[in-house]
Amino acid sequence: MKTIQAVARYFPENCGGIQTHLSELLPELEALGVESKVVAAQEKPEADTYSYQGVEIYRYPAFPVPKPEPLHGGSGHGGFEYFAQWLKQQKAEIYHQHQWEPKCGLAHLRLAKELGMGTVVSIRLPHPICQRNTLMFEGKTACDGKLDLMRCSQCAGVPKNLPSTMIQALSQVPISVSEKAKGKLGFLALPAYIAERQKGLVEMAKYADRIVAMSQWVYDAIAINGIPEEKLFLLKHGISESLVKTTVSQPRKADGILRIGFLGRWSPTKGIHVLVEAIKCLPTDAPVELIIHGVPQDEPYRQRLMDRIGNDSRIRVANQLKRDDISAALSNYDVLAVPSQWLETGPMVVIEAHANGLPVVGSDLGGVAEKVTHGVDGLLVHPSDPKSWAEAFALLAKDSSLLDKLRQGIKPPRTISMEAADSVTLYQRILAEKSVKTAYQMASSL
């Protein structure tokens, strides 16, 4: 079986979790008889072809860099013809798109479908559904994902006193016109954006043989918008077997200090500020230490937190970790803190922590809540309440037996080979359906 795996960017340039996970998945697919090529955009005016970790990579230009927009590339972008020409030359049976944005979006999926390939789109982020890009209703509570013009417009910033008739009328304005409304009255463009998101989800379902939900909340959010469940496939992440330890992590060190680790981006959505405030809520003699391994992203945010941390000896900002160093770092913690402030399908670090026998204190939200069982292999707390986090840390610092119980409650994690096997099952199912459809069409034409 031959497949095309499509992403918005790829190695060796700086990449995120989607590309990292894909690079780890490809060898597993190959071991199961699936040949893959990666196609990815690049912000250059020309195309490139090269090999990375034994996989052929084709980089098509997305130049000039397209602006973000709700249909996620419905009209193509500068350089799209390079992608089109390359894809037409491939003899692939499956086209699997792992992102949904202008550089890798609707136009790319539509072409693959028109070329007769089996088509798959994986959804890992709230962006295809949520104008706020977080799926947090008014930034405070988890949303069910139902696209509703009135509710979504007001959540995104339209004044609540704006009449529904006005919102409905604004939703009919073309995006090109709405763009001109930005500025002091930028909210006037929001209804049109939300209407386009609704349209984009319908178009995705039209051209994708399957929409892969990488978490249960994604599955539910897509289904609640009327997408047929036969179009959906739940495919949860797995972790490389090389990262799975066969022994439980070591008990707390003799000094009695609860060591709390954090791995993630310097971004408000990752919630480092909540952890900092939680430590500040605790008595100065509380036996806790927070170790932050941050990945650069939002420098003003990082600087504000550095100022807030000051000379507090209980909070240590450590170096950014390389991929190969994560397992060793996790072995030095007693718990991993995952204070996500938005709905995530992962984060993968939760699975990595459990693979290393490390309990997780995480936000009771989205993918974190799906991966952590409260009181069994970790603790779930209110995402944005520092006092709740402080109470959880104080409890673990005081009760070492609870920490031992949580360690013992960790079950073997789902592996990436399991994910690969499920992916192959999905691909085979799509091809079988296409074969039956082709046979039926041929019989009908006789």
Q: Is the pLDDT of residue 250 over 70?
A: no
Determine which of 183-187, 390-394, 425-429 has the lowest per-residue pLDDT on average. Answer: 183-187
**What mean pLDDT do residues 431-442 have?**
84
Cα dihedral sign, 224-228-229-235? negative
Give the pLDDT score at 252: 65
More confident site: 290 or 327 = 290
**What mean pLDDT do residues 318-322 have?**
91
**Burial (0-12, 13-18, 19+ Cβ within 10 Å), 373:** middle
Nearest 5°: CA angle at 279, between 278 and 280?
90
Q: Is the pLDDT of residue 248 over 60?
A: no
Q: What is the pLDDT of residues 414-436, one digit of tens each?
A: 999 999 999 999 999 999 999 88
Q: What is the pLDDT of residues 345-380, one digit of tens each?
A: 988 999 999 999 999 999 999 999 999 999 999 999
E strands along 14-84, which residues? 35-42, 48-52, 55-61
Give the integer Cα–Cα distance in Å for 291 and 334.
Answer: 11
Give the pLDDT score at 404: 94
Instruction: Map out the domains of the chain with their CATH numbers.
Output: 2-124+417-442 (3.40.50), 242-408 (3.40.50.2000)
In sequence order, the 6+-apart residues with CB closer than 8 A to the CB of 89 are none
User: Which DSSP letter does residue 2 get?
Assistant: E
Q: Is the pLDDT of residue 61 over 60?
A: yes
Q: What is the pLDDT of residues 104-135, one digit of tens each?
A: 999 999 999 999 999 999 999 999 999 999 99
The two structure tokens encoding residue 399: 């009760």
Q: Is the pLDDT of residue 216 over 90?
A: yes
**What mean pLDDT do residues 47-64 have?**
97
